[in-house]
Structure 1
Amino acid sequence: MATCFVSKGCFVFKPKDSKKRKISVTADSFIKGKAVSENDRLRFSTYVSLWQQMKEETESLQENLNEKIFDNLLSFIKKSNIQLHSKQNDWSYRMRCSEIPAAAVVLGVNVPDHEMTFQNLSDLLKQSLTPHVVCLQGKECTTVKHVLQKVLINLMGGTVNDEEEDEEGVHHSVHFSQRKMHCSMASLAGWYSATTQKSTSNSPSKKRKSPSLGQEQSPPIVIIFKDLESFLPKVLQDFIVISSNYIQQLPLVLVFGIATSPITLHRMLPHAVSSLLCIELFQSLSCTDHLTTVIDKLVLTTKFPFKLNGKVLQVLISIFLYHDFSVRNFVKGLQLSLLEHFYSHPLSLLCCTPDEANARVQNLTHDDCELIRQVPSFMGYVDHQDSEKQVKLLTNDQYLKDDVQKLLTDLHIYHQNYFPILKCLHVSTSSLPKYPLGKQIRELYITCLERNIWETEEYSSAFQLLGMMAKDELVCLLQKCMEVLKSFKQQTAITEAMQKLEEFLTNFQKLDDVAAVAEVKENEDQKTSPRKSLQEKTDLYQLQKTLMEMKKSRRSKKLSRFEVLRKEVLEFLDKLVRQYLLPPETQPLHEVVYFSAASTIRRHLNAAPRTALQTALSNPYYYLQNDVLRSEGGSITNTAPDICIVYKLHLECGRLINLYDWLQAFVTVVSAAEEKDPDKMSNGQVDEVLHARFIRAVSELEFLGFIKPTKQKTDHVARLTWGGL
């Protein structure tokens, strides 16, 4: 039998409707199993409500962070448009007539977040300034013609969205635009002139002397280049040169989204082209600062009862720092953690506000009470109680419910005291040399979650450095701690800490009043000091006596008033840390609100493609969950998909695989599944259907990178991987 060549084709079939499909979690998909209890539905509704609150908080935070840069961009675009309509023969008007206003927006390397930022900017421009906004991506604009097509389609079509429009719709819009007028900048100028004249004729007002009114009737055309680094320099240069010839007819404003550095724009554009632009630089907030704000609002707060374990938080931060710098993906990881917590933990229905938790505890069933008794932290809590209370907790459900209510309230109070003291400790140590406890509060928080912070060497080093602080530095530190605690003063413990800090500040102020008196006294003591006597006495015996007195006085030197007060301040801070920064594992029922499955989050977010492929090919039951596909050890299941059979057969071969032998082995396995005798083949030929199935499976295996064709032997393929799972 002649061998067949392995197919090398790769075909892409686009669906008719390529609109983005949002995968939503429903109650049916959230709850598995036939028996669905009321607690299960309550868990799902709690998850939905809690995530909605966190999502709204994130969106509000995003708006506040982008507010400044968006306001500056709007002001820049408005000013550029006003200059176009200005009739004064001034310098700005002459510059505006010869240059295109361009905003270089440096957003940072968190590229996945740029899409949301530009979408918000586009919506804001359309709502407040101009309906003519076009967003372009480098992968869609490989030529100047494509750039003009995208601009014309988005402006003249009005309803066309390149990300959500199907392929037929795009072609129809392009055909419609080109049929009506040529795809050129002159066509855009004619369309804009007709549009502005039409809006002017439809306007009821006859007087248009107001600059703002004229600006509304001739709104600017804003073209946003989302990813400047992805555009071909030649395409960008040609488009800018063409646009500069129509700047007096079209109020164009260009916005360049830059991920790296502003110098990228000058590297892509030579001086002859960059001189046609009037560039203004806009800098957004760094992604690390953005992450710090998100963690402060979503994690380091008692507003949301859900909390992350130290290992889970470390996984999310590691993915952020070493993969994409995307705050958006960090929030998605937080959502996944929330979903996994409510999905996998039956007692997560108590992860809610204290009032709701108290009401739900009283509605717990006997089975729910048994689940509580099996929680590790609660078992440790029971072990530390007296024998009488232990019996009640293990046998009396109502007594258990009352005690659980108290424990959940204590857990809430624990968090109310935890975060203020944590922020105070961060404020106190974040400015120390070499940052022994970390520069960012997230580093300190992870350390506090995993162990007793006061038992670490870094903590001792930090307090040694604090013990060498000057008076001004220490007073400034106490004032910062006071500002942190003011937002948490509803707690009794926090109020007492604030009063103690105020007392320390008052004592430091009193030191200034007694400084003059102390200085006079010190001068008097110096007159009779051993050092003064040392200068007067010359006798050897007296000299030896004086030196001994000096050595003794140095050993028994008394601390000054400031040193005593500084020591008291540090002892008070250390007391607060030891009292309120205990790890969550020390709190009973912390499993109710803390999510600790770090391996699950790592597996979902930090995927290992090779491991997943080998698992799917060697054990298809892992993903398909079909009992027919179960196999023991390394045996080959004849009911498995063709590619799985071919994969397992290729594991038994060496570096070179004979295609004919491989085919015969495949036919033998498949024929056993179909209850056919492989020896009874007509004329010794393999069935065409089985042959085609084998070629397809081998082609898929080649596409995945497990094999490749080889020139050593024409009827062989080379194996590229070794070993399996």
Structure 2
Amino acid sequence: MATSSVSKGCFVFKPSSKKRKRVPRVEDYFTEGNDDAKSAKLRFNICQELWEKIKSDTETLQEELNKKTLDSLLELIRKCASGFQLKANDWAGLMRASEIPTAALVLGVNVPDHDVTFQGLSELLQQSVTPFVVSVQAKECTALKHLMQKVLERIMGVDVPLNEEDEGQSGSCSVPGNRKRARCSLSSLCEWYQMAVKKFAARSPGKKCSSLGKDVLPYPPVVIIFKDLEAFSPRVLQDFILICSRYIQQLPLMFIFGIATSPSTIQHMLPHSVSSLLCIELFQSLSCTQHLATVIDQLVLTPKFPFKLTGKVLQVLVSIFLYHDFSVRNFIKGLQLALVEHFHSQPLSVLCCCKKEAVDHAQQFIHQDVERVRQLPSFMRYVENQDAEEQVKLLTNDDHVKEVCQKLIKNLRKYHKNYHPVLRCLHSLTSSLPKYPLGKQVRELHISCLEKNIWETEEYNTAMQLLRMLAKDELVAALQNCADLLRPAKSEKMKEALQQLEDYITKFDKLDQLSSEDLMEEEVTSPGKDLQKKTDLFQLQKTLLEMRESRRSKKMTPFEVLRNQVLDIVDQLVRTYLIPPETQPMNEVCYYSSSGVLRRHLNATPRTSIQTALSHPYYYLQHEGLQTDTGSISNTAPDICVVYKLHLECGRLINLFDWLEAYCTVVSAAEGKDPDSPDYGKVDELKHARFIQAVSELEFVGFVKSTKQKTDHVARLTWGGC
């Protein structure tokens, strides 16, 4: 059913007697339009299982990163709450004229990640300190009465209605006669808290009170979390603090301020008369860049997960993080999107799982799957490097391809097990060099290794030259770090490399046992000593020539020999194990490379999309009547498209009347009127109303705006079009 109307409206239709369509499941998007539904469902199950593992590890990692800050915060709350329970003098001293204990939690500008931190904080507080925890946001607390209402409702669990007549009386409102409602004031909260505490204290020692949480203090504090302090109205915040300070002796209130910018925000928002009522302690969370480095280290730079990202895809995710939001949460969502896209678009992603399952899936390949393997670019290169007899088997024998496929999958797993430890070793050696030739972060080195042979770059040669100039203490410490990084590796090759490094570390330690007499002998026999003797010009010239020749043929010291040898071993490890993944056969099974698709989904360009829709409506509406030549637009296009196309022909200021006349001319042509008729291009009420609506829509999306420079004109805000 459709409606035809000039203005927008609400239309009621009788419910259809037909059966409602079934809501599609997520796995249906994998199987829809797919010839092999069984394979698509299997890929969906593998993708879901892999994401659950990544998600679980991410949550555990975030808890560990925030543990130190949250533990310090909990310790402060316990200390303040215990003092209030005991009515001790230290609590009164802490209050100092009705001061409210306040924790200023600086979380950084990565605002999308704050919700996860506050959710974890609330859960910890409810489990170990107090069940009376409430979180408020600025968008729901535009006035004092709304802030008071949200706090009371979420703590007491009852409705707190607002009485508009008592709006100016410090937010106090009452609705008598209803048991499930409470007065909107802190006095009612104090009464409710005293009753709750009595019930809590009266319970038996061995019985837990489910309404107040478990393992909480006998007299738990009331914690109010302001998630986005900068967004709150300063006036609302000041009034709320002033009211709470009058009840601090009756109610153990505590504040937690979530700050995204700087602790000085509190001083800017609150005058001294209000901030002096708060006893503030500062807490600093881990920076978002350090958080991202840890996430990449645990999720990307590990052989634990078979799914991998190419250098361009990882660069897109890191660029969005660094130049847009600094959000680790959005980075993980981008990783999830890449995971789903890979399993949806790559039929051979059934092999992107643990080694045993991948081998089983390869054994069950049908002829269609084998043909897909043969069409992989990396597999084609592998076939070209084989002898003629082996090439024939790979191109004609499906069973042989399955066997080779299993071997290549195992080799790919071995490649990852050797790649990551060597990558960490190289980063450990070069991350402290001057000007960071191979990057300061391990992700920078990883992206470089994914895209090219790192040992062929100028930056690598510079790093190796600097390493050959390291002093003994610095070199031994760097080698010890490399040994620590190789020790957890289970690969036999890595164990051999570890043994070699440890042997050289032992040799460096033995250099200290050289006697000082040996070094003194070298100084005595030095040719420079002959210059101190009396000699003639001929003898002096001869001595200088001997010194020059001796410098050219100077022997290296034992330390320099060992240093060159151990760095040659490191260089050999890099050349052997840090080759780009594109060289590995069947790397397409595990590596997602569609950076353009990922960029379009995550880094949207709304202005470009809107201009495309207005310039080429056929692109979105798919109506044959709208398909025209490039640069033109159909006269049957929607009104806003016609108005937009006409406005591109104008300058900075657009005359509305001329614009209207041009629009009416186009509409008359769309209606099929004779150009010679008197009604052609005539402005009537219907066309005028449609034009005004189209201009209003164009103003809403930000292409034009009203102006006072000329009467009946609008100003154009954009230039160019699609």
When normalised by structure 1's length, the TM-score is 0.87
Question: 1:200 offset after TM fit, Å?
Answer: 3.7
- 2:150 is paired with a residue whose SS is helix
Q: Distance in 2 between matches of 1:129 and 1:329?
A: 31
Q: Hey, what does 2:141 align to over in structure 1?
A: 141
Matched, 1:33 2:30: no
The equivalent of 1:99 in structure 2 is: 99
Alpha-carbon distance in 1 for matches of 2:240, 2:60: 37
- Taking a change above 3 Å as real, the CA distance of residues 583 and 553 of structure 1, as seen in their structure-2 partners, is same
Residues 664, 682 of structure 2: 8 Å contact kept: no
Amino acid at match of 1:507: K
The answer to whether the aligner puts 1:268 opposite 2:265 as a matched pair is no
The answer to whether residue 533 in structure 2 is matched with residue 532 in structure 1 is no
Within-5 A mapping of 1:416-455? 416-455=417-456
Equivalent position SS for 1:464: helix
Given the superposition, is the C-alpha separation of residues 599 and 205 from structure 1 closer, same or farther in structure 2, using an over 3 Å criterion? closer
Distance (Å, rounded) in 2 between the aligned partners of 1:316 and 1:339: 15
Indicate how the Cα distance of structure 1 residues 106 and 129 shifts in structure 2: closer, same or farther if over 3 A, else same.
Answer: same
Aligned partners of 2:664, 2:392: CA distance in 1, in Å?
A: 69
Partner of 1:385, secondary structure, is: coil
Give the AA of the match of 2:330: N
CA apart distance, 1:638: 6.3
Structure 1 position 713, deviation (Å): 7.2
Unaligned runs of 5+ residues in structure 2 are: 1-5, 11-22, 161-172, 208-212
Contact 2:646 2:659 in 1 (8 A): no
Change (3 A) 1:477 1:652: same
Q: Distance in 1 between matches of 2:55 and 2:636?
A: 45
Q: 1:387 to 1:286 in 2, by over 3 A?
A: same
For the structure 1 residues 649 and 329, does the alpha-carbon distance in structure 2 shift closer, same or farther, using more than 3 Å as the test?
same
Instruction: Please give the residue correspondences for 1:675-686 in structure 2 after superposition, counting only pairs within 5 Å.
Output: none
CA contact (8 A) 1:666 1:694 kept: no
Tell which deviates more after alignment, 400-409 or 91-100: 91-100
Query: What residue in structure 2 maps to residue 18 of structure 1?
Result: none
Cα offset, 1:255, TM superposition: 0.5
Q: What's the CA shift string for 1:575-609, capped at 9, x where partnerless?
A: 10011100111112211111111111111111111
- Asked if residue 154 in structure 1 is aligned to residue 154 in structure 2, the reply is yes
Distance 1:41 1:638, change over 3 A: farther
Q: Per the alignment, do residues 371 and 82 of structure 1 end up closer, same or farther by CA in structure 2, a change over 3 Å counting?
A: same
User: Is the aligned partner of 1:603 residue 2:600?
Assistant: yes
Q: Equivalents in 2 of 1:533, 1:663: separation in Å? A: 102
Distance 1:708 1:578, change over 3 A: same
* Equivalence for 1:622: 619
Q: What does residue 221 of structure 1 align with?
A: 222
Shift of 1:114: 0.6
* Structure 1 SS opposite 2:217: helix
**3-state secondary structure, aligned to 2:283:** strand
Looking at structure 2, the residues matched to 28 and 477 of structure 1 have their Cα atoms a distance apart, in angstroms, of 52
* Residue of structure 1 equivalent to 2:544: 547
In the TM superposition, residue 216 of structure 1 has moved relative to its aligned partner by 3.0
How far apart in 1 are the matches of 2:388 and 2:46? 36
Distance 1:625 1:38 in 2: 33
CA root-mean-square deviation:
3.3
The range that moved more, 60-69 or 644-653, is 644-653
Deviation, structure 1 residue 112: 1.0
Query: Higher relative CO (CA 8 A, sep ≥ 6), structure 1 or 2?
Result: 1
Cα 1:662–1:130 change in 2 (3 A) is farther
- Change over 3 Å in CA distance of 1:315–1:684 after alignment to 2: closer
Whether the 8 Å CA contact 1:83–1:96 is kept in 2: the answer is no
> Match for residue 76 of structure 1?
76
Hey, what's the Cα distance between the residues in 2 that align with 1:400 and 1:132?
A: 64
Rate the CA distance shift 1:345–1:177 in 2: closer, same or farther, 3 A. Answer: farther
Would you say 1:244 and 2:241 are equivalent positions?
A: no
SS in 2 for 1:103: strand
Matches within 5 A, 1:258-407: 258-407=259-408
Contact 1:177 1:183 (8 Å CA) reproduced: no
The residue correspondences of 1:616-695 to structure 2 (distance < 5 A) are 616-624=613-621, 630-637=627-634, 640-651=637-648, 655-656=654-655, 658-665=658-665, 667-668=667-668, 671=671, 692-695=689-692
What is the CA distance between 1:176 and its match in structure 2?
Answer: 6.9
For 2:493 and 2:448, locate their aligned partners in 1 and report how far apart those are by CA, in whole Å: 23
Report sequence identity in percent: 59
- The alpha-carbon deviation at position 86 of structure 1 amounts to 2.0
Match of 1:209 in 2: none
Q: Deviations over 1:246-269 (max 9, x none)?
A: 111110111011112222223333
CA shift digits 1:247-294 (9 cap, x unpaired): 111101110111122222233333332222222221111111110110
CA distance in structure 2 between the partners assigned to 1:133 and 1:344 by the alignment: 45
- In structure 2, distance between residues paired with 1:103 and 1:295: 30
Alpha carbons of structure 1 residues 205 and 468: separation in structure 2 relative to 1, 3 Å: closer
Distance change in 2, residues 1:668/1:49 (3 Å): farther
Q: Is contact 1:153-1:177 (8 Å) kept?
A: no
**TM-score, length-scaled by structure 2:** 0.87
Of 648-657 and 366-375, more deviation after overlay is shown by: 648-657
Q: 1:581 maps to which residue?
A: 578
How far has the Cα of 1:624 moved from its partner? Answer: 4.7
- Identify if the C-alpha distance between structure 1 residues 660 and 637 changes in structure 2 by more than 3 Å, giving closer, same or farther: closer
Secondary structure at 1:217 match in 2? coil
Which residue of structure 2 lines up, in the alignment, with residue 20 of structure 1?
none
Structure 2 vs 1, CA of residues 608 and 176 (structure 1 numbering), >3 Å: closer, same or farther? farther
Contact persistence 1:656–1:719 (CA under 8 A) = no
Q: Check whether the contact 1:46–1:349 (CA below 8 A) recurs between aligned residues.
A: yes
Counterpart contact for 2:127–2:215, Cα < 8 Å: no
Q: For residues 116 and 262 of structure 1, do their structure 2 counterparts lie closer, same or farther at Cα, with a shift above 3 Å needed?
A: same
Could you tell me how far apart the structure 1 residues matched to 2:553 and 2:176 are? 94
Q: Deviation at 1:444?
A: 0.7
Q: Which residue of 1 aligns with 2:163?
A: none
Shift of 1:244: 1.4
Deviation, 1:630, is: 4.7
Aligned residue for 2:305, secondary structure, equals coil
SS in 2 for 1:301: coil
- Cα distance in 2 for residues equivalent to 1:124 and 1:176: 35
Shift of 1:617: 2.2
Give 1:323 shift.
1.0
Q: Is the 8 A contact 2:128 2:214 kept in 1?
A: no
Deviation at 1:642, TM superposition (A): 4.3
Q: Report the equivalent of 1:168.
A: none
Rounded Cα–Cα distance in structure 1 between residues aligned with 2:35 and 2:529? 93
Q: Give yes or no for contact 1:181–1:187 (8 Å, CA) kept in 2.
A: yes
Cα distance in 1 for residues equivalent to 2:216 and 2:41: 55
Instruction: Report SS of the residue matched to 2:104.
Output: strand
Shift, 1:377, TM fit: 1.7
Larger deviation, residues 611-620 vs 458-467: 611-620
Query: 1:293-317: per-residue Cα shift (whole Å, max 9, x none)?
Result: 1001110011111111111111111
Q: C-alpha separation between the residues in 2 aligned to 1:189 and 1:626?
A: 66
* SS of equivalent to 2:350: helix
Task: Give the direction of change, closer, same or farther, for the CA distance of 1:574–1:102 in structure 2 (3 Å limit).
Answer: same
Residue 505 of structure 2 aligns with which residue? 505
Q: Which residue of 1 aligns with 2:555?
A: 558
* Aligned 8 A contact 1:233 1:269 in 2: yes
Whether 2:109 is the aligned partner of 1:109: answer yes
Listed one character per residue, the Cα deviations across residues 431-460 of structure 1 (whole Å, up to 9, x for unaligned) are: 111111111101111111111111111111
